[in-house]
């Protein structure tokens, strides 16, 4: 019938996508998602289907949908639409034109199951093991830093703000409004991001630094210096101090080199003693003495450290600018799942770049 899509028409369209360099095709070729199946099945604890009913979606398929969301910054509703609309998404997921597509609620429920089980850390570790098996072993030291991840701003009165600061749960703050309580994030916090003064076209500096208020969470990461892959991470509210996180599992003790780079927020006596106790060498920036000029040799040492430490900014640019990371969920546990999935997706993108760069000409 004229105008009807045939089998070879679809194959030709896929061939054209491949010729154009479909990034998801590269991802499918370089990342084997089957090793995630054991962990996903263990977390979901699904029945054997003896009671009947519609069979659930394949857990690896659902996990790949979450990766697509992270890669392209999609909400659940946007993910459902894009899967139906884009041939590249369908091919990545292994779906035909006549296949059922998970709706937004199904995607949300699947992510909720991962959140309740705290499974994202295990999934991250599983992929990190795959990276090491491919030869991407953490070496040459590690770089630590944190980035603010914004969330929808809350509109609260002074009493509600104080109750949240005091640690009251949402159902106690709004006992007669359960729907409102379910939509209020009492875990996220405000903080101020200070942007350094920049020079204008004539080279003159702005009179003061710019303070930008941000509401949300922080993604604390540790990357390896050689490959730029995220090796450790944790999520806190936006107001949490960066330096205190160093001793909370942010150090990759398996990194083959002992050097640790970080900015001045991580410089403290407790952190220096901790790094020394586990055999690591601190390359953390030294702070400027209060009321005194910075010694010249310290300023030069900090500048050399900055040349290495700045590599972590590429990670945050990938997560926030290219992948559009934004927390639309409610609560720290869900934010941890959301940000953790983005960290996994970033490493997958980074793997494609590394493999492409190392491929023979």
The string of pLDDT tens digits covering residues 296-349 is 999 999 999 999 999 999 999 999 999 999 999 999 999 999 999 999 999 999
Asked if 74 and 82 touch (Cβ cutoff 8 Å), the reply is: yes
Binning pLDDT at 50, 70 and 90, where does residue 138 land? very high
| Pairwise pLDDT comparison (21 vs 332), residue with the higher score | 332
- pLDDT mean across residues, the chain: 90
Question: Residues for the chain: how many in total?
Answer: 361
Return the pLDDT at 284. Answer: 96
Cα dihedral 255, 256, 262, 267 sign: positive
Asked if 88 and 18 touch (Cβ cutoff 8 Å), the reply is: no
Asked if residue 57 has pLDDT above 60, the reply is yes
Return the pLDDT at 53. Answer: 61
Give kind and range of the element (H or E) at residue 189: strand 189-195
Cα dihedral 200, 198, 322, 78 sign: negative
Spatial distance between the Cα atoms of 128 and 28, rounded to a whole number of angstroms: 17
Asked if residue 206 has pLDDT above 60, the reply is no
Asked if 332 and 240 touch (Cβ cutoff 8 Å), the reply is: no
Q: Is 233 helix (H, G, I), strand (E, B) or coil?
A: strand
Per-residue pLDDT, averaged over 353-361, amounts to: 75
Closest CA to 107 of 88, 71, 84, 79: 79
pTM above 0.85?
Answer: yes
Q: What is the pLDDT of residues 243-298, one digit of tens each?
A: 999 999 899 999 999 999 999 999 999 999 999 999 999 999 998 888 888 899 99
Return the pLDDT at 154. Answer: 86
Give kind and range of the element (H or E) at residue 127: helix 120-133
Binning pLDDT at 50, 70 and 90, where does residue 50 land? low
Q: Any idea which of 53-57, 84-88, 253-257, 260-264 has the lowest mean pLDDT?
A: 53-57
């Amino acid at each position: 019938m004229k105008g009807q899509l045939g089998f070879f028409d679809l194959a030709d369209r896929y061939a054209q996508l491949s010729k154009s360099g479909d990034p998801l095709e590269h991802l499918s070729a370089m990342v084997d998602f089957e090793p995630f199946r054991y962990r996903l099945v263990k977390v979901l604890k699904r029945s054997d289907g003896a009671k009947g009913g519609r069979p659930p979606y394949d857990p690896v398929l659902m996990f790949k949908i979450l990766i697509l969301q992270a890669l392209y910054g999609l909400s659940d509703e946007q993910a459902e639409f894009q899967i139906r609309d884009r041939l590249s998404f369908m091919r990545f997921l292994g779906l035909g034109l006549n296949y059922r597509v998970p709706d937004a609620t199904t995607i949300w429920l699947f992510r909720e199951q991962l959140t309740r089980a705290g499974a994202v850390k295990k999934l991250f570790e599983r992929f990190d093991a795959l990276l090491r098996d491919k030869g991407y072993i953490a070496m040459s030291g590690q770089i630590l830093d944190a980035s603010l991840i914004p969330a929808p701003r809350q509109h609260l009165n002074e009493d509600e703000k104080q109750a949240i600061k005091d640690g009251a749960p949402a159902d106690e703050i709004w006992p007669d409004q359960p729907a409102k309580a379910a939509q209020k994030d009492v875990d996220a916090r405000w903080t101020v991001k200070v942007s350094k003064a920049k020079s204008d076209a004539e080279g003159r500096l702005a009179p003061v630094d710019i303070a930008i208020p941000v509401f949300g969470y922080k993604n604390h990461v540790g990357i390896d210096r050689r490959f730029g892959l995220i090796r450790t991470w944790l999520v806190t509210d936006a107001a949490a101090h960066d330096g205190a996180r160093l001793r909370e599992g942010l150090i990759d003790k398996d990194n083959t080199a002992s050097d640790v780079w970080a900015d001045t927020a991580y410089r403290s006596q407790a952190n220096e003693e901790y790094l020394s106790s586990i055999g690591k060498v601190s390359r953390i920036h030294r702070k400027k003495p209060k009321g005194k000029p910075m010694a010249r040799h310290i300023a030069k040492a900090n500048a050399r450290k900055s040349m290495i430490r700045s590599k972590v900014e590429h990670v945050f640019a990938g997560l926030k600018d290219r992948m559009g990371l934004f927390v639309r969920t409610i609560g720290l546990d869900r934010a941890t799942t959301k940000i953790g999935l983005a960290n996994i997706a970033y490493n997958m993108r980074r793997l494609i770049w590394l493999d492409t760069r190392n491929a023979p000409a």
